[in-house]
Amino acid sequence: MTGSGEPPGEIAIVASGPFATVQDLGRPGLAHLGITRSGAVDRPSLLLANRLVGNLAGAAAIEITYGGLIVRFSHPGMIAITGAPCPLTLSDREIGMYAPVDVPAGALLRIGAPARGVRTYLGIRGGVDVPAVLDSRSRDTLAGIGPEPLVAGVRLPLGQEKSDPPTIDLAPLARYVDEPELRVLTGPRADWFAPDAVSTLWANAYEVTADSDRVGVRLRGPAMRRHLTAELPSEAVVAGGIQIPPSGQPVIFLADHPVTGGYPVLGVVVAKDLPLAAQCRPGQRLRFRPARQAVNGLPAR
Amino acid sequence: MRILPCGDEALLVEVANLREAEELYGRLRRDPPPGLTDLVPAARTVLIAFDPAVTGPARLQALLHGMSPADVTSPADVTSPADVTSPATVTIPVRYDGPDLVDLARLTGLSPAQIIERHLRGRHRVAFCGFAPGFAYIAGLDPGLRVARRDSPRTRVPAGAVAIADEFSGVYPRASPGGWHLIGRTDLAVFDLTRNPPALLVPGTPVRFVAVGGAAVGGAAVAWA
């Protein structure tokens, strides 16, 4: 483990895999300036990775899409890998997910392709210390704000975003079911749709398509038809919002969603279930079911 | 006012018009309820995002219902909602040489010189942001200048382009596709990630457009694509 006086070192990206970015908890509270929150799309997995290595909750980690990341460590350190489970080797020795692992200087970490899920998080003790933009090291892929997506040859300095040494040595693996069910609160614009739209949403499985990304999970299935055809004046949208464009095919917004949208939002996936959507692979199907209105103690009025 | 559910961490409040949305936004911004995490005005709505560990929809609904109409709607003698919050006026120097002035003249029945004069005379203020980081929907456009967006959007509008559409003016913070009518350009950087806040045009900000001559103001000229 790195002592407090030593330099925390850096990591070198040897291979980035299909797509990897630096992410933290994003830029909350700037939506009124047209800046979306961004940050890890599977936030609980990022938080867990940071907790396992004793980092502050807001330390930056690497969000790896479909595995394939290879990194070399300049200094001794500590890592934890969470999210979509991948085969892992550290200098050709197998290591486990969801646990802190000590890393010797010069070690090479190889993250293979996940069999389930999409996004894997590499947390490193001290956090990734690239320059923050608007107090965050997250890459906002829609607006192009924050550190560039990782490519081979890039070196990332490590920081001091850590607290006491970690006390947990293993966390339970996240479960990735074949057909996850997401709880949805209908609204704000359910009344813009034909009366059968909401029942269509509950009754059918929707397939995740290949053009899904950090902006949203794009789905294919029975179309939801609008009842009001007027143009909706642009309004703020939220992560988890299920927007229905004119095609009738839903999009679930993720971390890099636009701040405002001009198509009506039929319902919103509850915050706790959104990581399940973010981890669905193309071809996988998901289902929606109504959330009780009593979420967060809201009595139905 | 209609309070619409928007997931378990937000409410969307729908009001009758842009002015009411600006008023509600200004009021909540000045006196934010506990647990507020984001407040996002738009053309007819204000999104209230909250931390469910601190507050909840029931409490926020009660707060919204408890607001007297005078708190939310604008008395007739208030010239601008911005008068209450009083952020400093942002002056935008514009070279009015946009490629759409001729089309606009045809659409409005005004001459290009009259269009420019009416644009300069408007009492402008930022109503909300969206489309791109730092892109402000600036309300207060002369009613005679209101035209729908272009039928075919441009694939690239340069940064600094000053444009109008519907009831708004806007300044493109950086090069992007765009469907508004281009009336001029400015060298003022309306969005700069190294600044805090990065956006010059935040909701509620009064805006004054001033005409400048052919030479670039304090920087390189923006070339029309």
pLDDT, position A295:
46
pLDDT tens profile B20-58: 999 999 999 999 999 999 999 999 999 999 999 999 999
How many other C-beta atoms are found inside a 10 Å radius of the C-beta of residue A183? 20
B16 is written with which tokens? 């009758």
Give the C-alpha separation, A230 to B17, whole Å: 16
> Band of the pLDDT at A164, cuts 50, 70, 90?
confident
What CATH code is carried by the domain that includes residue B201? 2.40.100.10
Chain B touched by A93 (CB under 8 Å): no
Does the beta-carbon distance from A34 to B203 stay under 8 Å? Answer: no
This complex has an ipTM of 0.92
Q: B198 — contact with chain A (CB < 8 Å)?
A: yes
Q: Is residue B59 part of a domain?
A: yes
CB of A144 closer than 8 Å to CB of A10? no
Query: Are B222 and B100 within 8 A, CB to CB?
Result: no
Q: Looking at chain B from residue 162 to 181, which residues have their Cβ under 8 Å from any Cβ of chain A?
A: none
Structural domain count of chain B: 2
Beta-carbon separation of A236 and B12 below 8 A: yes
To the nearest whole Å, the CA of A206 is away from the closest chain B CA by 20
B110 and B16 fall within a common domain: no
Q: What is the pLDDT of residues B157-192, one digit of tens each?
A: 999 999 999 999 999 999 999 999 999 999 999 999
Question: Would you identify the CATH topology of the domain A181-290?
Answer: Cyclophilin (2.40.100)
CATH 2.60.120 domain extents, chain A: 10-157
pLDDT at A292: 81
Q: Which fold would CATH assign to domain A10-157?
A: Jelly Rolls (2.60.120)
Interface test with B, best of A25, A27, A30, A32 (most B CBs within 10 A): A32
Partner B contacted by A296 (CB < 8 A): yes
Q: Is B57 in Cβ contact with A296 (below 8 Å)?
A: yes
Per the domain annotation, does B83 fall within a domain?
no
Instruction: Look at A31 and B40 and tell me if their CB atoms are within 8 Å.
Output: yes
Write out pLDDT tens, residues B56-101: 999 999 999 988 665 555 444 444 444 445 689 999 999 999 999 9
Domain region containing B16: 2-78
Domain's final residue, options B53, B78, B103: B78
B32 contact A CB<8A: no
Q: C-alpha angle A196/A200/A205, rounded to 5°?
A: 180
| CATH number of the domain where residue B66 is located | 3.30.1360.40
Residue A171, pLDDT score: 82
Same domain, B74 and B183: no
